[in-house]
Structure 1
Amino acid sequence: MKNKKIFLLVLICLMSFGLFACSNNKANAPKEGSKVEAKEDKNNKKDEKDEKDEKDSDFKMPRVAALKGPTAMGMSKMFEEDQSNLTILTAPDQVVAGLSKGEFDVAAIPSNMASILYNKTEGKLLKVAAINTLGNLYIASSDASIKFIPDLKGKKIVSAGQGASPEYVLNYLLEKNGLAPDDVTIEWKSEHQEVLASSGEDNTVLLLPQPFMTVALSKDKTLVENIDLNKEYKKATQGRPMVMGVLVVSKAYLENSKKDFEEFLDKYEDSIKFVNENPKEAAAIIEKLGIAPAALAEKAIPKANMSYEDGMDMKRDLEGFLSVLEKANPKSIGGKMPGEDFYFVED
């Protein structure tokens, strides 16, 4: 009997110890969101970073051409450290010539010129991958009484970009506002810098994009910004965007380096976003690349209308703009609307 009591006492002790041990282990077990999961999350992030670094290390930058203006400004961040594959030119014709000769893989050019090149080469040369610049055309003069397009009657308009979007947008808006070609005198210069030299001439207005408008206003204090052609274009087209610039890619390069190009587009989108959101920092990079002085770039960025749009949104807005130009003058887009293969749109 005594032995039985001893046996029961030992059994109770063992059971109590077991329950205590289980309870203690449970209390010491990691809770949700604890260090173990945090460590796993950290490891996952490290893996993602390693994967990104590996992706970046495999990336090969294409040969890129851009114009000295918003298109080059938007690319500035991605070329901050290494500009060896970036060529900045001053006239659209220079970019088009280099692209046609195979000197560039990717180029930022006026939207209508992309269509002209497509039609001229029967779609064999390029595809449009993104919109990079929306309307950024402005008119300035020393006459503050000019406020609307009809006020331009009898004036001399000095601009650059003959054969590109500025010429056809201007003609379209003059017509929409009841002005005939002989109601104004248009003088075309080869570069925007030449337009600035006409500042202060009698009965003369300047048609300029950013950042050149900011340059003009800073150099000649008698100038005032009279008309925002971007707003006028939206009024005339029931709110459609004026697509000034696009990014095109050589079909030969795309066939051989699609992965690199897709990564380039990601970097380009990030670069444009950085420039728009960080004008002061971006302006310093823009000056470093020789695009524009930092002080002027910082002022111009908010009005330069740099944008990134790809896919079906890009196709819709670019088609809309080209259709307006086609109705105004089919020659402005190469005679006809480009085909579906003009657009680089991923499924």
Structure 2
Amino acid sequence: MKKILSLALAALLVLSVFAGCGDKKGTDSGSSSGASSKQGADVRIAGVKSPAGISLAKLMKDSGDKKTANQYTATLYGDAATAAEKLSAGEVDIAVLPTDVAAALYAQNSGSVQLLAANVLGALTVVDTTGEIKNLYGLMGQTVYAAGQGTTSEYLLNYVLDHSGLTVGTDVRIEYVDSYDQLVDMVADGRAPLAVMPEPYLSSALAKNGSAKAAVDLGGEWDRVSDGKELLLGAAVARTDFVKENGQAVKDFLQDFQNSVEFAAGNTEETAALAQKYDIMKAEIAERAIPNLGIAYRDGESMKASVSSLLQILFEANAQSVGGSLPGDDFYYAKA
């Protein structure tokens, strides 16, 4: 089972929403150790120094200011694999992870984790430097450059194209490069006239090439071809034993988390400043990226419907991408 988790983590890119922007050493939120009378349980959280980690920034600040229901000690790591390992080892109670990695943790030890609430919608974009791409079908006969071959990125791109009537390799040629950093450089110098990438790489590419435009929102295309199921790529995941033993703390966390996610989605400048404060990314980069990150809060049955649909698609593309088997209904936290 450990091998299953390792394989899933190796395929982690998840559109690079969870690719670390800093080093792998954890950064603590700086929350004070003694809870005030207003704060309940002490809850340990693992996040990632990445765009997905931005949704935790307000929660971290509010906890330090004693404005949350629980007292949180949040540690941000350089990659999602480390955050997942901390959760699996019981060193933290909750982690913000890619949904496919959460499924792999569940497969490693059936029922060991539960998906509480989603915080990231899919945010891949086709970048066009030619000025000719008006919609997805403009890619017919074109070569598109991408990163993340053999990962969720590839499976989702293939799914959208295939369910739009475009066959990869016949109608659209996809050329994969080693990293999104390389892809940004290729857009900048004109080697990649068409490319697919997420934030914050999108903003960087647009800034480096004045001819580059965000041409097609693949998250929107996903909604179109998936019967309205949202592309929920990231979520707060808790140890099942923690959920069972701390019911009120979990409910309070969900409210605090929702407040933090919705603040991030609606307050770009303030959230960008917090992103820099907590060493997630520089404020100027975050400010450009946040409007396109797909930060949103989802829970309950709508979350379950969308995530289960996504995991089914990933399973059919590569079963090991979700740990070798699909999670049961107990994977999804049910609000009382």
Give the alignment's TM-score, normalised by structure 2.
0.75
Alignment equivalent of 2:119, drawn from 132, 140, 146: 132
- Tell me the distance in 2 between the aligned counterparts of 1:194 and 1:90: 19
The amino acid that maps onto 1:179 is T
Alignment of 1:274-289 (within 5 A): 274-289=263-278
Are the counterparts in 1 of residues 49 and 279 from structure 2 also a CA contact under 8 Å? no
Deviation for aligned residue 1:90: 4.3
User: In 2 relative to 1, CA 233–203 (structure 1 residues): closer, same or farther, beyond 3 Å?
Assistant: same
Q: 2-side partners of 1:96 and 1:205: how far apart?
A: 34
In structure 1, runs of 5+ residues without a counterpart are 1-51
Change (3 A) 1:273 1:203: closer
Structure 2: gaps spanning 5 or more residues: 1-34, 66-71
Aligned pair in 2 of structure 1 residues 59, 194: CA closer, same or farther (>3 Å)? farther
Matches within 5 A, 1:308-319: 308-319=297-308
**Aligned counterpart for 2:60 among listed residues 57, 79, 82:** 79
- TM-superposed CA distance for 1:103, in Å, is 3.6
1:62 counterpart residue number: 44
Distance in 2, matches of 1:167 and 1:67, equals 23
CA contact (8 A) 1:160 1:195 kept: no
Kindly indicate whether the alpha-carbon contact (under 8 Å) linking 2:143 and 2:194 is maintained by their aligned counterparts in 1.
Answer: yes
The corresponding residue for 1:167 is: 154
Question: Are the counterparts in 2 of residues 146 and 152 from structure 1 also a CA contact under 8 Å?
Answer: no
Structure 1: distance between partners of 2:49 and 2:141: 31
8 Å contact kept, 1:63–1:103: no
Determine what percentage of the aligned residue pairs are the same residue.
25
Rounded to whole Å, the distance in 2 between the matches of 1:267 and 1:173 is 34
Aligned to 2:252: 263
Q: In the alignment, what sits opposite 2:109?
A: 121
1:110 paired residue among 98, 103, 108: 98
Aligned to 2:238: 249
Q: Does residue 84 of structure 2 align to residue 96 of structure 1?
A: yes
Moved more, 193-202 or 284-293: 193-202
Matched AA of 1:142: T
CA contact (8 A) 1:137 1:207 kept: yes
| Aligned position for 1:210 | 199
Alpha-carbon distance, 1:127 to partner: 0.8
Q: Distance in 1 between matches of 2:125 and 2:203?
A: 10
Structure showing the higher helix proportion among its residues: 1
1:37-76 Cα offsets, whole Å, 9 max, x none, are: xxxxxxxxxxxxxxx96341x331313223501x211111
CA distance in 2, matches of 1:160, 1:104: 29
Distance 1:59 1:321, change over 3 A: same
Report the secondary structure of 2:333's partner residue.
Answer: coil
Q: Deviations over 1:91-119 (max 9, x none)?
A: 43333333333343211222222222222
Name the aligned partner's letter for residue 283 of structure 1.
A
Change (3 A) 1:214 1:118: same
Distance change in 2, residues 1:291/1:327 (3 Å): same
Q: Which moved more, 1:213-222 or 1:279-288?
A: 213-222
Q: Whole-Å Cα distance in 1 between the matches of residues 103 and 177 of structure 2? A: 22
Taking the aligned partners of 1:313 and 1:287, their CA distance within structure 2 comes to 32
Provide the residue aligned with 2:329 in structure 1: 340
Task: Find the aligned partners of 1:294 and 1:103 in 2 and give their Cα distance.
Answer: 30
Residue 207 of structure 1 deviates from its aligned partner by 2.5
Residue equivalent to 1:18: none
Whether 1:145 and 2:145 are equivalent positions in the alignment is: no
In the alignment, the residues of structure 1 paired with residue 155 and residue 200 of structure 2 have an alpha-carbon distance, to the nearest angstrom, of 20
- Is the Cα contact below 8 Å between 1:77 and 1:274 reproduced in 2? yes
Secondary structure, aligned partner of 2:37:
helix
Aligned residues of 1:133 and 1:244 also touching (Cα < 8 A): yes
Counterpart Cα distance in 1 of 2:135 and 2:318: 23
Q: How does 1:168-183 map to 2 (within 5 A)?
A: 168-176=155-163, 177-181=165-169, 183=172
What is the aligned residue count? Answer: 291
CA distance in structure 1 between the partners assigned to 2:78 and 2:194 by the alignment = 22
How far residue 168 of structure 1 moved from its aligned partner, in angstroms, is 1.8
Which has more radius of gyration? 1
Compared with structure 1, are the counterparts of its residues 321 and 160 closer, same or farther at alpha carbon in structure 2 (3 Å cutoff)? Answer: same
Q: What CA distance in whole angstroms lies between the structure 1 residues aligned with 2:132 and 2:233?
A: 28
Compared with structure 1, are the counterparts of its residues 316 and 238 closer, same or farther at alpha carbon in structure 2 (3 Å cutoff)?
Answer: closer
Q: RMSD of the alignment, in Å?
A: 2.9
- Alignment TM-score, normalising by the size of structure 1: 0.73
Deviations 1:241-272, CA, capped at 9 Å, x for gaps: 11121111122433444433332221111111
Alignment partner, residue 290 of structure 2: 301
Hey, what's the Cα distance between the residues in 2 that align with 1:94 and 1:206?
29
